[in-house]
Amino acid sequence: MTCQLPRDTGGSLTTNIDPNGYRESLDFAAMFNAEARKGDGLIFTDYMYLHLGGQNAVMQSVTGPLGNVQVPVNVGGSFEVVSNVWTLAGGYSVLHGQSGSLDLFEGMRLLNLNGSAGWRLSGPIGLPSRAGSVSLA
């Protein structure tokens, strides 16, 4: 992933994001479901919870506008994502057979997603430190 730095610097910042690292960021996950039937009527619900988080600090280099200068920069960051998904539905069993059944249902799903990320950039003496954060609620 390459991020553009502010226009006045003209450089770029490169970092690696490894899809195999998601499991290391998993703090907790759970899923529950329930179903009840009476005659041809049915009701079901499920709930899923996911919490991801992590922090890291690495030394990277920033390349200047013409590619001639590389400046070491300490890049630190953290993130957190919390997700809740809840489903509630009711339905009616239309067909029954030995090989399966057909149920028609209608319901609702609620998604609650919160996330935040923060970063810290610091370089050699003379370069200003930069920090920031963003959140999704």
Token look-up 């922090």 returns: 55
What are the respective helix, strand and coil percentages of the chain, to the nearest 5?
5, 70, 25
Per-domain boundaries in the chain: 2-17+25-136
Cα–Cα distance for residue pair 112/62, rounded to 1 Å: 37
pLDDT of 137 strictly over 80 = no
Scan for tokens 């539905």, then name that residue: 89
Asked if pLDDT for residue 2 goes beyond 80, the answer is no
Mean pLDDT of 27-38: 94
Structure tokens at 121: 């950039």
The predicted model scores a pTM of 0.64
Tell me the residue length of the chain: 137
